[in-house]
C-alpha cells in the first residue's frame, strides 16, 4: 500500500525523536551531500562508520509520498533508525530527501511518474556511494521501504553495479487495488474515521485506473490520492517481482506480519511465488511488526504511528548481518 494515504502522516510533532538503543553515534560520523543534478537536486546525508576498511554501502529509498530523508512519520523516523543502526554496525548509508518533498514543482507536476520521482536520484546515489572512501564499490546495495522497495528492482536494472537489494514491505499488489483493500480494512478497525462514501470513492477511482478510459489527460482529481494520470499509467503495468526475478542478484525481502498496508497475503505472496526458484532471494517475516517495522500486538491501526517507536532491533541486526556476509 502506498504511503500517500492518511495512514502515514509527514506532519511535524512536538515529540522529539531520540536515537534507538541500537544506535551508537560514537561509532560513525555524518556529512551532507547533494543527490541528483540541476535545479531539482536534493540534499542527503551519508552516515560513515569510523575507522574501518572499505565495506558495504546502502542507499535508502523511502515510501510513496513527499517524505524527507528520514521518512519522518509523526514523531518517528524509520529511515534514520535504519541509517544509524546500520552505520553503528559497519555499513555506510546514504539517505536523501525525496524530490516531491524538497521541490513543490516536482510534487505537483502533471506528468509525474514513479520513475521520475525515484530513479534519477537513486541511480545518482548509487554512484556517490561507489566513489565514497568508506565503501567497497562492488558492495553497494539498495534498501527500499514500501514504494521504495517496489522500485528497487528497477533501480538495480538501471544501475547494474548494484550488488543486491533489501526490500522492506515492498508492495506488489497493484496500488489502486491496495488502496481499496486498505480503506476497507480501516473501515472495520476505525469505522468512525472512514465514511462509507470514502470506500465508494476509492472503488470508483480504482475502476477508472483499470479502464481503457484512463489517458494522460485524465484529471488527477478523479484518480487515487490526486496523483496524475501518467503516474497510474506507468504503475498499472509495472511488475516489480518480474523485474527482480530477472536480476540474478542477492535479495533480502522483509515483511511485517501485522502490516495492513503491504500484507503477507496480498503482497508477500507475489514475491514468494515469483522468486520461488531463486536461491538468491532470502524472504523473512517479522510477525509482530507493522508497516514501519515497529513491533506491537493486535490489529495494526494508524494510531500506532502517532507515538514514538523504533524499527525492530532484530530487523536492524538481520540486515546488518546479511550485508556483511552477502556475496554479489
pLDDT at 14: 56
Q: Where are the domains of the chain?
A: 25-172+239-325, 174-238
Residue pLDDT, tens place only, 70-125: 999 999 999 999 999 999 999 999 999 999 999 999 999 999 999 999 999 999 99
Residue 52 — very low, low, confident or very high, per pLDDT cuts 50/70/90?
A: confident
Residue 3 — very low, low, confident or very high, per pLDDT cuts 50/70/90?
A: low
pLDDT at 7: 35
Query: Is the predicted pLDDT of residue 128 greater than 90, yes or no?
Result: yes
CB-CB contact of 100 with 25 (8 Å): no
From 88, 134, 146, 300, active-site residue: 146
Query: Is the predicted pLDDT of residue 308 greater than 80, yes or no?
Result: yes
pLDDT at 1: 45
DSSP tag of 93: E
pLDDT at 15: 73
pLDDT at 11: 39
| Domain range 25-172+239-325, its CATH number among 3.40.50.11810, 3.40.50.1820, 2.60.40.1260, 3.50.50.60 | 3.40.50.1820
Query: Is the predicted pLDDT of residue 8 greater than 90, yes or no?
Result: no
From 259, 266, 289, 312, active-site residue: 259
Q: In the predicted model, what is the mean pLDDT of the chain?
A: 94
**DSSP state string for 170-233:** ---S-HHHHHHHHHHHHHHHSGGGS-HHHHHHHHHHHHHHHSTT--TTS-GGGSGGG--HHHHH
From 4, 132, 145, 291, active-site residue: 291
d(CA 239, CA 261): 18
Give the dihedral sign, CA 255/257/258/261. Answer: positive
pLDDT at 12: 41
28, 51, 233, 301 from 7: Cα distances, Å: 33, 41, 24, 8
146 is annotated as an active-site residue: yes
Residue 326 — very low, low, confident or very high, per pLDDT cuts 50/70/90?
A: confident
Residue 53 — very low, low, confident or very high, per pLDDT cuts 50/70/90?
A: confident
Q: What is the mean pLDDT of residues 304-310?
A: 94
pLDDT at 61: 98
pLDDT at 243: 98
pLDDT at 16: 84
Q: What is the mean pLDDT of residues 55-74?
A: 97
Query: Is the predicted pLDDT of residue 2 greater than 70, yes or no?
Result: no
Query: Is the predicted pLDDT of residue 4 greater than 50, yes or no?
Result: no
CB-CB contact of 156 with 140 (8 Å): no
Residue pLDDT, tens place only, 310-322: 999 999 999 999 9
d(CA 254, CA 168): 5
Q: What is the mean pLDDT of residues 264-279?
A: 96
Amino acid at each position: 500500500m502506498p504511503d500517500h494515504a492518511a495512514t502515514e502522516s509527514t506532519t511535524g510533532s512536538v515529540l522529539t525523536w531520540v536515537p534507538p538503543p541500537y544506535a551508537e553515534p560514537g561509532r560513525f560520523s555524518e556529512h551532507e551531500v547533494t543527490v541528483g543534478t540541476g535545479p531539482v537536486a536534493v540534499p542527503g546525508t551519508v552516515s560513515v562508520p569510523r575507522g574501518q576498511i572499505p565495506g558495504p554501502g546502502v542507499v535508502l529509498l523511502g515510501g510513496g509520498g513527499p517524505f524527507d530523508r528520514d521518512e519522518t512519520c509523526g514523531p518517528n523516523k524509520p529511515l534514520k533508525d535504519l541509517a544509524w543502526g546500520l552505520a553503528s554496525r559497519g555499513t555506510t548509508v546514504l539517505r536523501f530527501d525525496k524530490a516531491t518533498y524538497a521541490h513543490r514543482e516536482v510534487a505537483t507536476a502533471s506528468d509525474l511518474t514513479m520513475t521520475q520521482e525515484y530513479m534519477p536520484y537513486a541511480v545518482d546515489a548509487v554512484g556517490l556511494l561507489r566513489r565514497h572512501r568508506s565503501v567497497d564499490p562492488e558492495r553497494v546495495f539498495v534498501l527500499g521501504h514500501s514504494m521504495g522497495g517496489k522500485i528497487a528492482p528497477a533501480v538495480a536494472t538501471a544501475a547494474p553495479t548494484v550488488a543486491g537489494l533489501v526490500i522492506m514491505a515492498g508492495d506488489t499488489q497493484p496500488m489502486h487495488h491496495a488502496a481499496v483493500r486498505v480503506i476497507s480494512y480501516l473501515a472495520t478497525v476505525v469505522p468512525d474515521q472512514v465514511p462509507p462514501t470514502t470506500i465508494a470513492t476509492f472503488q470508483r477511482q480504482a475502476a477508472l485506473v483499470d479502464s481503457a478510459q484512463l489517458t494522460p489527460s485524465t484529471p488527477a482529481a478523479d484518480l487515487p490520492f490526486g496523483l496524475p494520470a501518467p503516474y497510474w499509467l506507468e504503475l498499472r503495468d509495472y511488475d516489480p517481482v518480474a523485474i527482480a526475478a530477472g536480476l540474478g542478484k542477492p535479495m533480502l525481502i522483509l515483511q511485517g506480519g501485522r502490516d495492513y498496508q503491504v500484507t503477507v497475503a496480498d503482497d508477500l505472496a507475489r514475491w514468494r511465488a515469483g522468486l520461488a526458484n531463486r536461491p538468491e532471494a532470502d524472504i523473512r517475516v517479522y510477525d509482530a511488526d507493522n508497516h514501519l517495522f515497529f513491533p506491537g500486538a493486535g490489529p495494526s491501526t494508524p494510531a500506532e504511528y502517532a507515538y514514538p517507536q523504533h524499527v525492530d532491533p532484530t530487523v536492524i541486526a538481520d540486515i546488518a548481518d546479511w550485508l556483511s556476509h552477502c556475496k554479489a
